[in-house]
Amino acid sequence: MAKLSAKAAAVIAALVVAACGGNHRHASSGHATKVAYSDPVGAQPGQQDIVFGFKAGASELGWTAESIDANLSPDKQVADIATMVTQGEAGIASWTLDPGAAAGAYRQAGAAHIPVVGVNSAGAGIDATVWWEINLCGAGSPVAKLTKYIAAEKPGAHVLEIGGPPVPSIQAYERCFAENAEKNGLTIVGTAHNTKDTAASAQPIVADLLTKNRDVDAIWAYNDATALGASAAQMSEGGKVYDGSGDGVIVFGQNGDVDAITAIREHRLTGTLDPNPVATGWALIKALSGFVGKHRVDDPPRELVVKSDRWTLDNIDLYKPPRERHYTLATVPLVRPPSG
């Protein structure tokens, strides 16, 4: 378990007091049900779409919803959970940045009878999890299928793997990609981590790896901003990006960001894995509704998996921006966990 900073430990102590005095605050009658989302990094477009869906889903039930941006700080996330508890939220959704730091905060939410639903996060204090299909591994997972795609387009490809900040959910698909790359005959010749989470910070990281590895056939990035930085690095050296035919380096990202879709259409990005972020927000409300409000059930689902899509030039004409995909709680695109 991670060692808490003094600040985080103080917040946990405050949570204990809040839990002891506020067990029934969220359940008072005559008030709208309030729920909140601990957003790991509010500047990321996909996270903004999750919040959009979270608020839209809450509206269907007559609930009110808010989000608080942790800005990639585990300590701030602990403080944010404390705020949610003291504000008397009926339910909390959270994308965990540090399980060790957050576990105590989640337990104190539980002590106040406030359910916690994780986003790509499980563990102590989390009552249920909404997973992105891309975040679960196995032979049938989207990330595993992507390695098969790369192997089919570029047999025996030499690959660069670009990860991100040391967040458990990100580390999970880094491991999944590496394991399945090996299974499908791909060789990872270089790895790096874009911890600043921007295209601008990714470009020099990838440029350095390309200098050291001149025979790269593919680049996989943990998100679209990093993939766009990788694409810029490849093209600045006079290289091409593979668009489904001819020469070029396959460059693939994740998130289905609008900038990535534009880059695919402009032949600057091979593709992206789209986790359906707006649908994720709806799924969080669907999960929370099993624990609170008039739809509460005795045995609510503990896992929901949101369908992911893969976009390349071959199918890009079918793409709809996330906020133009209309859902209800009954039509959220859920799938079974990947097999294998």
Domain ranges of the chain: 6-134+277-324, 137-274
pLDDT of residue 30: 52
Residue 209 CB contacts under 8 Å (≥ 6 apart), including other chains: 160, 190, 192, 216
Do domains 6-134+277-324 and 137-274 share one topology? The answer is yes
pTM of the full predicted structure?
A: 0.85
Question: Residue-wise pLDDT tens for the chain (340 aa)?
Answer: 344 555 555 444 444 444 444 443 344 345 789 999 999 999 888 899 999 999 999 999 999 999 999 999 999 999 999 999 999 999 999 999 999 999 999 999 999 999 999 999 999 999 999 999 998 998 899 999 999 999 999 999 999 999 998 988 889 889 999 999 999 999 999 999 999 989 999 999 999 999 999 899 999 999 999 999 999 999 998 999 999 998 999 999 999 999 999 999 999 999 999 999 999 999 999 999 999 988 899 999 999 999 999 999 999 999 999 999 999 999 999 999 987 6
Does CATH number 3.20.20.370 belong to domain 137-274?
A: no
Show the CA angle centred on residue 205, arms to residues 75 and 313, nearest 5°: 100
* CATH class of domain segment(s) 6-134+277-324: alpha beta
Between the alpha carbon of residue 54 and those of residues 67, 250, 256, 274, 282, the distances in Å are: 9, 34, 18, 18, 5
Q: What is each CA distance from 159 to 58, 126, 149, 228, 239, in whole angstroms?
A: 42, 36, 13, 16, 15
34: enclosing H helix or E strand: strand 34-39
